[in-house]
Copies of this chain bind each other. A is one copy, B any other.
Amino acid sequence: MAAVASSSSFYPNQTPTFLSPHPTVSHLFGISYSSSHKSSPGRLQLKVAATAKLVMDQKTQPSSLPTTVDVHLGDRSYPIYIGSGLLDQPHLLQRHVHGKRVLVVTNTKVAPLYLDKVIHALTVGNPNVSVESVILPDGEQYKNMETLMKVYDKAIESRLDRRCTFVALGGGVIGDMCGYAAASFLRGVNFIQIPTTVMAQVDSSVGGKTGVNHRLGKNLIGAFYQPQSVLIDTDTLNTLPERELASGFAEVIKYGLIRDAEFFAWQERNMDALMARDANALAYAIKRSCENKAEVVSLDEKESGLRATLNLGHTFGHAIETGCGYGEWLHGEAVAAGTVMAVDMSYRLGWIDKSVVERANKILKQAKLPTCPPENVTVDMFKSVMAVDKKVADGLLRLILLKGPLGSCVFTGDYDRKALDETLHAFCKS
């Protein structure tokens, strides 16, 4: 019944053969498989049972409908819609709007491209809804309290009330800031994520982490606050600058390294297609990433343990971002260099094989991502920023490190400090 085929195409809706190493993902599309499967039949059986309802639902839907990944969080559950042309399907947005007033939060780069389209999608056939917008400056360096105040100002001056909806239209910075504004305006209003970068589509728009930076560290002020829905129109990636595209792949690669070896192997085979913006490859990578993220968030919303593993490379990465000034490096670029450092440290601890180090380095290079921190970031800068990381508990810095075969990791403060020191000195000046 189920199998992994060996063609070089990506997206099951378009093709009956499918280069997925992960049967569950294919099942979500209700695809027919050939019988020559190579993955574990035992594991497969279990997953098929869990996704049976979805398979049947999909079979009754026309193919133009979006793929939906659900984040299961009790009464805070919500759908992630993924597909091409979703901004041309107004009902997907309108069904999640509360009240009659909407505030779209976006930035100077995204507004000229998609703001009108989003306002149209919110209002067409829906004359009772009025839409305000606030256009923020673009870049991580503006992800702070001062910029956030502009959102509150606009909301209050527009006399929005508790029955309003905020819409985040943009990348991770806009999503985090709009989400935090929604969490805190009148102690919480409804919000919808419309991520327009790979980074936001595969990671930051899903899971309810919102917040702003403090001059001394990233995301130190914020809230866990889930959106009402996430709408990913993959067409928005057509206008994404190359550097932003690659930055997002750092998080895609992360899912492979920490928990999904089959997805990692798929990426190794398809990174060139991803870099060339092959639509099917992108759609598959986004969906598979969202499934990984949704599963982790459903199990550990408030990051008491498991969820922290999604931060592979982020502690080193945050230090790079903070140390060289927000906005110099893109988040994913810093995470890429941070991932190499975390992998290096895992290897020094004897927790992974050399082959994992090599594969991680190779795929990051394929994605044209940096594999070491910038020259001006010193060991002391690393240590100083890492000391205020959110994963410090009672003074102990816990890290996400790989351990075991590719696809396995740990979140731990129980490691030899010498390995951390060696990694820091291997990658930067003292």
Residues of A within 8 A of B (CB): 99-101, 145, 149, 152-153, 156-157, 159, 161-163, 183-188, 209, 211, 214, 216-217, 219-224, 302, 387-388, 390-395
Contact = CB atoms under 8 A, between A and B. Distances in A.
Give me the 3 closest cross-chain CB pairs, A-B, nearest first. Answer: A161-B392, A163-B393, A186-B390
B387 A188 contact: no
A188 B156 contact: no
A221 B161 contact: no
Main secondary structure of the interface of A (DSSP, over half): mixed
Contacts of A186: 220, 222, 390
A220 B153 CA distance: 10
Oligomer copy total: 2
B224 A161 contact: no
B395 A100 contact: yes
Contacts of A149: 145
A219 B221 CA distance: 18
Given A185-B220, A221-B184, A159 B392 contact: yes
A223 B183 contact: yes
Contact of A161 (B100, B159, B302, B394): B394
Contacts of A391: 162
A279 to B, nearest CB: 35
Most chain B CB within 10 A, of A159, A163, A209, is at A159
Nearest to A157: B216
Given A209-B187, A214-B152, A388 B159 contact: yes
B223 A185 contact: no
B220 A100 contact: no
Contact of A214 (B156, B211, B394): B156
26 contacts: A101-B394, A145-B145, A152-B214, A156-B216, A159-B387, A159-B388, A159-B392, A159-B395, A161-B388, A161-B390, A161-B392, A162-B391, A162-B393, A163-B394, A184-B184, A184-B211, A184-B222, A185-B221, A187-B209, A187-B211, A187-B219, A187-B223, A187-B302, A187-B390, A188-B224, A188-B302
Most chain B CB within 10 A, of A152, A184, A391, A393, is at A184
A395 B211 CA distance: 28
B156 A217 contact: yes
A388 B154 CA distance: 12
Contacts of A161: 388, 390, 392-395
